[in-house]
Structure 1
Amino acid sequence: MEIKTGPVWPCSLEDPTDRRSGKPRQSGLSMVIDKGLGPAAFSDLLLTAGEYIDLLKFGFGTSPLYKDEILRGKIAMAKQHKVATFPGGTLLEAAVRLEVVSEFFDMVGDLGFDGVEVSDGTIELSRRQRDSLITEATQRGLRVFTEYGKKQSGSRIVLEDLRRTVELDKGRGAELVTVEARESGVGVGLFDDSGNCREDELRRLRQSLPELDILLWEAPRKDQQAALLRILGTEVNLGNVAPSDVMSLETLRRGLRSDTFALHRLVSDYMI
């Protein structure tokens, strides 16, 4: 272990909120979307910011497009930094449509992915199909992250549907339920056609949903992340974070950026 003998940053400057914990975290999770980083860029990301990444999604259907040794290498590197990996839900949706679900799960396990995302953002899944996919994944020892919402522009959150989805998915073994916002964060779910957060709607959801810890909110933009942190608290789970924004998000979480600067003084006002 390296022993530092010179000046060190005051602890209060490292985390003014005094709420961030180390891995493995149970809340305040950050999920990064990887849309095709090369091995060198991926290694740099983990070396620089791996401590602040909990989950990493190989976006959309990119996983089969990699050379085998590159994909395996990236997954292995992530494991070294205690970052859990999973392929994007669109790939499983494609497997359902093409009737190759068992082959999909075989490959996910062989490659060393930690989990899968079960979604129906593009296709329609019956409740029975959704349950079956969650069950198969858990029986194979995979972590399951489900997703609520459609990818079509104009899709909105329906409280009772979300509540029911969380209840049933959790009962089947899902670890987190992701609220859809796509990688753009525009015109879907919580965000309007300009990408602005519907903050009044978010406050109503906070009051009405009993288990916010199980939700992971896709929020690719800084203003969206800041709004969720201010309203739901520093330990909200956030996803679809761009690799280049990991450190930036961590400063938002800790009140080290002007957008959330008040969190280190007023954090108790925003606790769930």
Structure 2
Amino acid sequence: MNYTINNLPERTQKPRDKGITMVMDKGLSLRQVEDFLEVSGSYTDIVKLGWATSYVTPNLDQKIKLYQDAGIPVYFGGTLFEAMIIRGQFDDYRRVLDKYKLEHAEVSDGSITIEHAEKCAYISKLSQQVTVISEVGSKDVQKIFAPYKWIQLMKAEIEAGSWKVIAEARESGNVGIYRDSGEVRQGLVDEILTQIPEGTIIWEAPQKAQQVWFIQLIGANVNIGNIAPADVIPLETLRLGIRSDTFDHFLGL
């Protein structure tokens, strides 16, 4: 840090297992990635190349290398997994992970319908190849799961081999664990946390109010995902209580 401010919450150090900031890259250029890493690389733990943007991204291998050379793992969004699974291309998907030397993969079923046992089987198989992050929840606003179902699904996916489970919200933050207004479904989150260790969950929270809510609930080292590149530094100040939204929350430390 550039100078000393006393009595700030202690942040975990990279490589982090808790307090993760997952960034959503929706199509940055190589130059933009370089600029992003210069400013925010120290506060970024993992980067998702959103949904299936990797299929159409120019210079994909060079982009991935930029992140990896900075010590930041990269993975393809779960929609790519779904797009290939629905077309019977699981083996092709595994070869793509190897081609780009990826060490993480996302398994999701937010856009397709498959039996949960089948999803867990994919998690189990992929966990022998890479570190798996699985996503729970649907991108369909009409599909609302009861809290017990979220817990059941998360437990099964962790047992199948997921390193972390993502609580779905989309990049817009208005489905899954949120109402269509973006408001947190507080009762759902409270129920999930009675059964699932908070360090095992990455909460998708693209909106500032959502980030503030989870920091106030869990603390500076909550795992937060779907962060826009421009929001990484602002998020870090929220975590440390040096932005007005969380300023009072950490003063008693």
* TM-score computed with the length of structure 1 as normaliser: 0.88
Q: Which runs of 4+ in 1 moved over 6 A?
A: none
1:264 positional shift: 2.3
- Of the candidates 52, 55, 77, which is equivalent to residue 88 of structure 1? 77
Relative to structure 1, the CA distance from residue 250 to residue 137 in structure 2 (aligned partners, 3 Å threshold; closer, same or farther) is same
CA 234–182 in structure 1, closer or farther in 2 if over 3 Å, else same: same
> 1:117 touches 1:145 (CA, 8 Å); kept in 2?
yes
Are 2:167 and 1:182 equivalent residues in the alignment? no
Deviations 1:70-116 (A, max 9, x none): 11111111112221110000000011111111011101111122211
Q: Give the aligned partner of residue 94 of structure 2.
A: 105
Q: What are the equivalent positions in structure 2 for 1:63-82 lying under 5 Å apart?
A: 63-67=54-58, 70-82=59-71
SS at match of 2:225: strand
Report sequence identity in percent: 32
Q: Alignment partner for residue 58 of structure 1, among 49, 52, 73?
A: 49
Please report how far the alpha carbon of residue 26 of structure 1 lies from its aligned counterpart in structure 2 after TM superposition: 1.5
Aligned counterparts, 1:216-227, within 5 A: 216-227=202-213
CA distance in 2, matches of 1:117, 1:262: 36
Mapped contact 2:49–2:75 kept (Cα < 8 A): yes
Gaps of 5+ in 2: none
> Aligned to 2:117, what secondary structure does the other structure show?
helix
Cα distance in 1 for residues equivalent to 2:126 and 2:60: 20
Cα contact 1:156–1:190 (8 A) shared by 2: no
Q: Which residue matches 1:192?
A: 179
**Is 1:230 equivalent to 2:224 in the alignment?**
no
Cα 1:198–1:170 shift into 2, 3 Å: closer
Q: Aligned AA for 1:71?
A: L
Task: Find the aligned partners of 1:160 and 1:266 in 2 and give their Cα distance.
Answer: 35
**Which of 161, 171, 177 is 2:149 aligned to?**
161
| Equivalence for 1:48 | 39
Contact 1:219 1:241 in 2 (8 A): yes
Are the equivalent residues in 1 in contact too, given 2:20–2:224 (CA < 8 A)? yes
- Verify the 8 A CA contact 2:131 2:163 in the aligned structure 1: yes
- Structure 1 contact 45–243 (Cα < 8 Å) conserved: yes
Does the 8 Å contact 2:76/2:106 carry over to 1?
yes
The structure number with the bigger radius of gyration is 1
Contact 1:118 1:133 in 2 (8 A): yes
Alignment match, 1:135: 124
Q: Deviations for 1:130-173, whole angstroms, at most 9, x for unmatched residues?
A: 12211221222x11000000001144342222222222211121
Q: Is the 8 A contact 1:72 1:112 kept in 2?
A: no
How far is the alpha carbon of 1:66 from its aligned partner?
2.1
Say if 1:183 and 1:8 are closer, same or farther in 2 by CA, change over 3 A. Answer: closer
Per the TM alignment, residue 27 of structure 1 is displaced from its structure 2 partner at its CA by 0.5
3-state DSSP class of the match of 2:250?
helix
Q: Which amino acid aligns with 2:45?
A: D
Moved more, 159-168 or 89-98: 159-168
Give the conservation status (yes or no) of the 8 Å contact 2:139–2:168: yes
8 Å contact from structure 1 (residues 213, 236) kept in 2? yes
- Deviation string for 1:4-32 (max 9, x for gaps)? xxx950153xx711x20220112110101
1:7-22 matches, within 5 Å, as 9-12=3-6, 16-17=8-9, 19-22=10-13
